[in-house]
Amino acid sequence: MKRSVIRGTGRAVPSRLVTNEDLTKIMDTSDEWIRQRTGIEQRYWIPEGEELGASDLGLEASKKALDLAGWQAEDLDFIIFATLSPDIMFPGSGCLLADKLGLNSTPALDIRQQCTGFLYGLATADAYIKSGLASKVLVVGAEVHSTGLDKSTRGRDVTVIFGDGAGAVCVEGIETDENVGVIASCLHADGSGADSLMVELPASRLPDRMPKDLPADDPRYFPSMDGKKVFKKAVRKLPEVTKEVLEKADLAIDDVDMFFPHQANLRINQAYGQFMKIDESKIFNNIQRYGNTTAASIPMAFDEAIEQKLVGKKNDTVLFLGLGAGLTWGGVLYRFA
Ligand SMILES: CC(C)(COP(=O)(O)OP(=O)(O)OC[C@H]1O[C@@H](n2cnc3c(N)ncnc32)[C@H](O)[C@@H]1OP(=O)(O)O)[C@@H](O)C(=O)NCCC(=O)NCCS
């Protein structure tokens, strides 16, 4: 039977380290507020004045993943690029990344599933592999948030959370009778919650996509979030989807060696762990150092955990899960081959 296994992982962040203390110099906030509410201590942002897009960070992460897999870019037969902050409105960052990798005909698909982008991407790669449409797929999650945040006190609830970064994985189809690779995935979306976390402008639904009389700092150009609503939804949906994906795989929660929840808020992940009665040591968190890097957060965390040798042995079983804008949520169970 065909199985989708991960052959290499990589991550990248820009060079500019921004601590909570740095943020207090540009807006009314405090290190204490940010740590207490979110667990975040620092994040990385694109250096001021530099032109770097999601595809540039994605390229760095992809090169590392390709190296670890022992693949050349030419070996890829499909690229999936998840981002809510594409380099430009169109074409997609996947096309730009393919070009930067020196490719000129490999299919590249952008997906816009925000915090669950990596989950949707991995599940899509798995489906392409299992259907025989592809055998070597690069899945990338990459974000440049910092150039699109409201860095005044007005935007502080959102701005302190987000960081820039990229994560990539090389996924290969293999023939095996073992229950390894992507063993189950569950994806969901509920657009009725779209306005709980969104960037409203530019908007093609308006007669004038970029209304002429608006100031450049109109709040609708920046992400807005109903933080409490998203928090409550996450704390409810993450346990639900965990149960669903475990049932689908016919596994129990104790069969999972490490949980990789999306890094939206350390408190969400702690609440999830307590509710599910999962030992803290089995939930991987790195939001303290990177903030919320949206589509990049899960592959970055996975890459870091592999590097730290926390996971990676044959039959180690991990659960990737998350909830975010859309609203979208999901879980993907993966077992090392
Ligand atoms: C964003 C979040 C940290 C805010 O925490 P919260 O406890 O809900 O805080 P509130 O929004 O109620 O704000 C509480 C107070 O802090 C203030 N505040 C907001 N951001 C602040 C900041 N960065 N620094 C200091 N004070 C801040 C608010 O203005 C409010 O002040 P008030 O009581 O005088 O009105 C939290 O709601 C959250 O993490 N939600 C989920 C986010 C998420 O998962 N997003 C998905 C991303 S994909």
Domain residue spans in the chain? 2-175, 181-283+297-335
Tell me the fold of 2-175: Peroxisomal Thiolase; Chain A, domain 1 (3.40.47)
Compute how many other C-beta atoms are within 10 angstroms of the C-beta atom of residue 103.
17
Task: Give every CB contact of residue 59 below 8 A, 6+ residues apart in sequence.
Answer: 97, 100, 101
Which pLDDT value is given to residue 125? 98
Ligand 1 centroid–CA 150 distance in Å is 15
- For the CA atoms of 305, 77, 56, 185, what is the dihedral angle to 10 degrees? -40
Which pLDDT value is given to residue 292? 98
Which pLDDT value is given to residue 298? 98
> What residue owns the CA closest to ligand 1's atom 7?
37
Is ligand 1 within 6 A of the CB of residue 71? no
Do 2-175 and 181-283+297-335 fold alike per CATH? yes
Which residues of the chain are modeled with pLDDT < 70?
none
Ligand 1 atom at minimum distance from 231 CA: 41
Task: Give every CB contact of residue 308 below 8 A, 6+ residues apart in sequence.
Answer: none
Is ligand 1 within 6 A of the CB of residue 228? yes
Which pLDDT value is given to residue 169? 98
Q: How far apart are alpha carbons 36 and 60 in whole angstroms?
A: 32
Task: Give every CB contact of residue 99 below 8 A, 6+ residues apart in sequence.
Answer: none
Ligand 1 centroid–CA 153 distance in Å is 12
Is ligand 1 within 6 A of the CB of residue 27? no
Is ligand 1 within 6 A of the CB of residue 263? no
pTM of this structure: 0.96
Give the architecture (CATH level 2) of 181-283+297-335: 3-Layer(aba) Sandwich (3.40)
Q: How far apart are alpha carbons 60 and 43 in whole angstroms?
A: 18
Which pLDDT value is given to residue 87? 98
Ligand 1 centroid–CA 157 distance in Å is 5
Which pLDDT value is given to residue 330? 98
Ligand 1 centroid–CA 106 distance in Å is 43
Q: 271, 331 in Cβ contact below 8 A?
A: no
